[in-house]
Amino acid sequence: MQLDVFNAFRDHALRNGVLFYFNGYFSHNVIGAMGDTLRHRLEAQGTKGAVTRRVFSTFIEMAQNILNYGVDAERPEQGGQMSLGAVAIGELGDQFYIICGNHIDQAHVDRVREKLEAIRSMSNDEIKQAYKQQLRSQDHEEDPISKGAGLGFLTVARDSSAPIEYTFIEDQGSPDKVGFYLKAII
Amino acid sequence: MQDLHIAASGTSPEVDFRFSSHRLALIGESYPENAAAFYGPVIEALREYLAQANGQRIEVHVELRYFNSSSTKVLFNIFDLLNSATGSNEVVLHWYHDEEDDTILEFGNDLHEDFPSINYIPMAIVA
């Protein structure tokens, strides 16, 4: 990349309020380091504690989703997994946005869409109720695909001030995987 | 039985379970790479301790600044275990939360609703 192109790239990001952008391998250490930087940045600019926690929480849930479900990944049994993806955190007006993108398995698209559509149709109270119900449910342990508690998207929804946005983008080169993009507004 | 101490890391809390003095504390951050793997031995030790605890006043201090969704589920299971020990013990839960942030307080209140036999004491931390 030419230096002037890089400058244009940076200006463009700044004009869109981007505080932080990363594209590459997500590992547990990378997520921890980005999280620290993000928190420090938000605290330094005087963001309220509760807002900082919501932005941070959403970032961690999205980043750990990339790590756990991204298909462009290496997952050695001994830990130290890595997975390709991108994340951007920005500020527009008095709101923050967090966007992430990664490839997921084509076979999981319907399942993810179904979960997100259900959450998008819920009111804030319904999100809280669904969260509580999922917390108490033991069914999730039988789920062969999920690696967490089934609370990730609900946690993002709980911390968001608008319905979660998402899209799937087909990858022409490889029909077995699909680009998955998620956006939350805090 | 032996006390359990695990030092805090940037993404996992300090675990200070002093079974000998019936004081259990979790302090710090909780978003480990694998919550089930991190908390597995903690829950195992707690289960063993509770199996033999009888007529004790068990003081639990939870001072977590942040916990991710998979840690949330594990915490719920820990309180489920503690709740089942209230038949023969008194369990006191000191639940610390940022004064300005309702999310952790609300989660504590939900735990209280689900496990009313635990003596729940919310503790506001003034920033």
Q: Is the pLDDT of residue A79 over 80?
A: no
Q: Give the mutation candidate from B9, B67, B69 for the A interface (greatest A CB count, under 10 A).
A: B69
A32/B11 Cβ within 8 A? yes
State the count of interchain CB pairs (< 8 A) between A and B: 68
Q: Work out the average pLDDT over A67-80.
A: 86
Closest CA to A59 of A40, A41, A34, A25: A34
Residues of A with Cβ-Cβ distance to B66 under 8 angstroms: 53, 56-57, 60
A135/B72 Cβ within 8 A? yes
A173 interfacial to chain B (CB closer than 8 Å): no
How does residue A142 score in pLDDT terms, banded at 50, 70 and 90?
low
Would you list which residues of chain B are within 8 Å, Cβ to Cβ, of chain A?
10-11, 31, 33-35, 66, 68-70, 72-74, 76, 98, 100-103, 110, 114, 127
Q: How far apart are CA A161 and CA A51, in angstroms?
A: 11
Q: What are the pLDDT digits (tens) for A7-59?
A: 999 999 999 999 999 999 999 999 999 999 999 999 999 999 889 999 999 99
Long-range contacts of A19-23 (CB under 8 A, 24+ apart): A19/A89, A19/A90, A19/A91, A20/A87, A20/A88, A20/A89, A20/A90, A21/A86, A21/A87, A21/A88, A21/A89, A22/A86, A22/A87, A22/A88, A23/A85, A23/A86
| Nearest residue of A to residue B31, measured between CA atoms | A60
Q: What are the pLDDT digits (tens) for A158-171?
A: 999 999 999 999 98
CB A45 within 8 A of CB A9: no
B110/A148 Cβ within 8 A? no
Backbone torsions φ then ψ of B27, nearest 5 degrees: -135, 130
> What is residue B126's predicted lDDT score, i.e. its pLDDT?
82
Q: Is the pLDDT of residue A179 over 70?
A: yes
Q: What is the mean pLDDT of chain A?
A: 92
Q: Is the pLDDT of residue A125 over 90?
A: yes
> What is residue A172's predicted lDDT score, i.e. its pLDDT?
84
> What is residue A25's predicted lDDT score, i.e. its pLDDT?
96
> What is residue A145's predicted lDDT score, i.e. its pLDDT?
66
Q: How high is the ipTM of this complex?
A: 0.91
pLDDT tens series, chain B, 127 aa? 899 999 999 999 999 999 999 999 999 999 998 898 999 999 999 999 999 999 999 999 999 999 999 999 999 999 999 999 999 999 999 999 988 888 899 999 999 999 999 999 999 988 6
Smallest CA–CA separation between B21 and chain A, in Å? 31
| Nearest residue of A to residue B33, measured between CA atoms | A28
Give the CA diameter of chain A.
55
- Whole-number Cα distances in Å, A51 to A32, A99, A132: 19, 16, 22
A159/B69 Cβ within 8 A? no
Smallest CA–CA separation between A176 and chain B, in Å? 27
A163 interfacial to chain B (CB closer than 8 Å): no
> What is residue A144's predicted lDDT score, i.e. its pLDDT?
62
> What is residue A140's predicted lDDT score, i.e. its pLDDT?
60
